[in-house]
Chains A and B, each alone.
Chain A
Amino acid sequence: MTLTPVLTAHWDEADSYTIGGYMRHGGYSAFKKAFQSGPDDIINLVKDSGLRGRGGAGFPTGIKWSFVPQNDGKPHYLVVNADESEPGACKDIPLMLANPHALIEGMIIAAYAMRCSHAFIYLRGEVPHVFRRVNAAIREAYTAGYLGKNIMGSGFDLEIVLHAGAGAYICGEETALLDSLEGRRGQPRLKPPFPAVAGLYASPSCVNNVETIANIPYIVNNGVEWFRSFGTEKSPGFKLFAVSGHVKNPGIYEAPLGITARELIEHAGGVRDGHQIKFWLPGGSSVPMLTPDLLDTPMTYEDIAAAGSMLGTGTPMVFDDSTSVVRAVAGWLAFYKHESCGKCTPCREGTYWISDLLHRLENGEGQESDLDKIVELCAQISGRSFCALGDAASTPFPAAIKHFRDEFVTATSTPANDSFDQFAATVFAGATR
């Protein structure tokens, strides 16, 4: 399958991130078109397009928008989740760097559809360069009269506030994000009420991923038919696939949903010479790893699920035979332990304990009984934690032990670095030390 650059079409142009660069290719025409139809028509358009959330869960966007009660006399808020922090996921950050105006125009249309006059972008705090760039783009949009009061004489107002987080993975969880945005500690909220009913400032709110919103102008401009010409029935459209790991040219490859990981890896130049793929993850560290025999699975929500994993953020991570799976899993669990917010017991204590056990295994100090113990501990977290972070944290190990039990057994007596030279897996492998 070939690549289909839409969001990424003009990233090679020097001014792709400016309002001029965006408008040269038809930017800021979609929202004017949207203003010609009613807000409900836009919601229906997005519903018909079948666009699914690009943040990981894949919930249909139009349906999510329709959950926001209309004409209830309350302020509505659109919140863009730009807290991209998933290990392996790197698509929203480049998108905001290279094409921030698609996000802003998408926000104008989404806000118009949901009758919202105040929108927020919650950006992860560790990317000040992105903060500056998005801020500049917002400023340009204000100057052009595309944001602010009575936009283009339409009577529609929209203010956009860009907010930087303080460095917490949990704030990518939508309710924790809302708490953080309100100035509280980022911890997930009890649901119900769901954000569509009582979200930001206890008002109806909709939280959408950056890439989801950036799709909107293109759908409005080109129509449902065009959008559905990409992808499959259940997973229409195109996607930013951020291929990382042991490929020659890691990067973002925009292609229709349904492209296979093997094709993506080929686009990325294939694996390093002399190496074979050992395992791969379709969409970030929070989805179960798959073996190379499943590389021909179409990258759709439904097909990847059928293969026993999840499309997640659609950011395949490729690991070749130089990788110690023990070290990889231990690294992920160290991440989840560090990022657990502490609110609920299973995630707080479970990630602490599992990480501790994996650290021992990585050092060749574990016991074989630890392996079953970790599987049990993962089961004690999964489905029992307050939010999905616990589920994510309990995903890597059970998948890994299913495919690589022997390697874990070896790790009980041999440190991972003895079995697998840690430098062999790096980008500078082979360089003279």
Chain B
Amino acid sequence: MTVTTQTVTVTVDGVAVEVPAGTLIIRVAEMLGTAIPRFCDHPLLSPVAACRACLVEIEGQGKPQPACAIPVTDGMVVKTQHTSDMAQQAQAGVMEFLLINHPLDCPVCDKGGECPLQNQAMANGRGESRFDGTKRSFPKPINVSAQVLLDRERCVSCARCTRFAEQIAGDQFIALLERGAKQQVGTSEDQPFDSYFSGNTIQICPVGALTSAKYRFRSRPFDLVSTPSACEHCASGCALRTDVRRGSVMRRLAWDAPEVNEEWNCDKGRFAFPYLSDGRLTSPLVRDEDGNLVPASWPEALRVAAAGLKETGVATGVLTGGRVTVEDAKAYAAFARGVLGTNDVDFRARAVGAEETAFLAHHVAGKNIDVTYGDLEVAPSVLLVGLDPEDESPIVFLRLRKAALQHRTKVVSVAPYMTAGLAKMKGTLIAAGPFDEATAISGAAEHVKEAGSIILVGERAATSPGALKAVADLAASTGARLAWVPRRAGDRGAVDAGLLPINGRDITTILSESGKAVKGLLVGGVSASDVDGDLVAAVDAAQFVVSLETRHSDVTERADVVLPVAVVTEKAGTFRNWEGRDRSFNVAIPTANVLSDADVLTELARELGVELDATDFWATASKPELVAGTHKPTVGSGQAVLATWKHLLDKGTLQEGEPYLAATSRVAVIRVSPATARSLNLVDGGQAKVECCGRKATAPVIETAGMADGVVWIPSNSEGAALNLPSGCVVNVSGGVA
């Protein structure tokens, strides 16, 4: 397809330049290296022309015009502050007005040192103020959410935050209130700024009006050492910047990656980092004669680990978890297959099945970059299967919302109910419980028949028998492109590295066979709460367990050898995001004596007398046939089929230690359709209990119109509702719980 862009010729400060028609004056000036002052302007938000800092002269117009809002036309002659007295005076006047009410608290303001207002005041402002009146003051600060704080007197009413909330996140929980000099950002009385993306408003605030509870008064920008990073919290693949002072992460910012996260990230990626330092393992541990875990030297620990693994050998199960870097994944694959000789290797720490293994082998492994964010943005329609992007891949959500709003992309989701995120994407729901999804997918051809349509399938599809086969068939029959969007940052890289149980046992079988056919376990970053099975019991049952972990856990407590490994800030590496795009990152905190998983496995292999040698697993692997699962349970009276996923913000271990973030997480609720509520005797708004397999959760019931019948939805791992069971479980539901 050839795209012809109409161009126009425009002159800025005497320099003629040809640019695409419709380019804003301020952008043209940027191309020429001319910085026009601006506060409200943001390239990813629609122009508002409110701050008036960017006034320039346009030949033929009597008044100065806002450069941020006026697209250039052919032959336009623009004069900026450098060549026009009118522009220079207009800008100086606006700068003076902006500063009359601004408090002189730069020395204690978080923004001081990286503040657009401060910088432009220094560059263009008056040395001394002519204003000798009374400044407006407000009680400070106020919380717009648990995490985001507002100092109203610092605000310049640029409306970046409110436009972000409305246009990008779709969470219109903040708005400008009052008028004139009293205008201020605010929330409604009983509704805080409830958004997974609230932190972006802090970052784009051109003054210090919005700050985070996490970072407020913690550091000065000029004391920070910044490192470009990649986010480890999900498979979206955000570029981040990690800011470190004296060996501690002070904050993380969304960084610029136009092809991926543009300039945004989610609050988990921004604020969930205390885990990087809290509760860390600082030394290798081995079990002494009395059975106690005691610190050991690296040589000793490696020797003990190697000896134990030599004994269990091919009967060792290797569970890596989904947070591995590409480099670590390759090392695990090489270590398992090449050193131990076992095929019992699985990166998945969740409910899995043979159908998914085959699907990943055929449709994901080794595909490189195929479907991209850019493709989503212009797709005529996108079908979501087993994926709620807002909770499970927030940047996919933002891009799909942009697609829906700007390109009228039709978003259709096979899901149990119309989620808030789906509504914000102006999506259409195909309501289906876990056991009806395959049929629903097969019947969704009309939604993806237009050329360029895309099917995004989430990792939860593994819990719907036949869903992944149906997805593959649908893609084949309609020509729609297919992409798998897992939850964890390392999942895609792990698939490509071959950390799948091809010719071996999957995680569920490894756990159930532990102590029997599986004698030893090599466990990476796997949390007991994640897996579908009893990890703790499996670790106890195994003859020999080596744990590679960053922090103390149920597994490290029970392992025979614990080898501490680096967290993302301590190592360089690469996460392969859902697109297949490599997101590499560098060491943010150089730390002595900390090894990555790959380093440890290399040393362990050497201890076993082998040099670790990564091979392309998929070059020779035989891919199992993709066969639709058919399991369908019987559901008795008082029972329903569980549909569940994890909220973005929940009790996940990587979010520990950040109470302000936790306070913005969504409250757990139980959702059922009105008909199901009646058959289960549940009352809308009343409490209900969901029980299965000895676990139970209690939460208020929300009758949800349009929801699939016979299904009960509850978040998997939220405060007060942490069943940690996969979708498809048959659960007992009872109402009337106080």
Contact = CB atoms under 8 A, between A and B. Distances in A.
B101 interface: yes
Contacts of A349: 97-98, 100-101, 181
Interface residues of B, number: 36
Nearest to B62: A383
Interface residues of A, number: 30
Interface stretch (B44-52, B639-647, B649-657, B665-673): B44-52
Interface string A137-176: 0000000000000000000000000000000101000000
29 contacts: A168-B179, A185-B176, A339-B179, A339-B180, A341-B180, A341-B183, A342-B176, A342-B178, A342-B179, A343-B157, A343-B183, A345-B98, A345-B156, A346-B94, A348-B181, A348-B183, A349-B101, A349-B181, A353-B97, A353-B100, A356-B133, A357-B133, A380-B93, A380-B96, A383-B63, A384-B52, A384-B64, A386-B49, A386-B50
Interface in B714-730: none
A338 B93 CA distance: 21
B632 interface: no
Contacts of A351: 180-181
Contact of B55 (A190, A339, A340, A384): A384
Contacts of A373: 130
B215 interface: no
Given A344-B52, A384-B90, 12 more contacts: A190-B48, A338-B180, A341-B179, A342-B178, A342-B183, A345-B50, A351-B180, A373-B130, A380-B93, A383-B64, A384-B52, A386-B49
A350 to B, nearest CB: 6
B134 interface: yes
A380 B134 CA distance: 20
B131 interface: yes
Most B CB atoms within 10 A — which of A343, A351, A373, A381? Answer: A343
Given A356-B134, A383-B62, A384-B64, A346 B52 contact: yes
Contacts of A348: 97, 157, 180-181, 183
Interface in B95-144: 96-98, 100-101, 130-131, 133-134, 136
A247 to B, nearest CB: 33
Nearest to B136: A352
A385 interface: yes
Interface string B11-54: 00000000000000000000000000000000000011111110
Nearest to B91: A384
Contacts of B97: 345-346, 348-350, 353, 380
A341 B181 CA distance: 8
Interface string A343-371: 11110111111001100000000000000
Contact of B94 (A342, A357, A384): A384
Contacts of A343: 50, 157, 183
A170 B183 CA distance: 14
B50 A344 contact: yes
Contacts, number: 96
Contacts of B49: 190, 344, 386
Chain B binding surface SS class: loop
Nearest to A391: B63
B69 interface: yes
Contacts of A185: 175-176, 179
B181 A342 contact: yes
Contact of A384 (B63, B100, B131, B134): B63
A350 B89 CA distance: 15
Interface in A377-426: 379-381, 383-386
Nearest to B39: A345
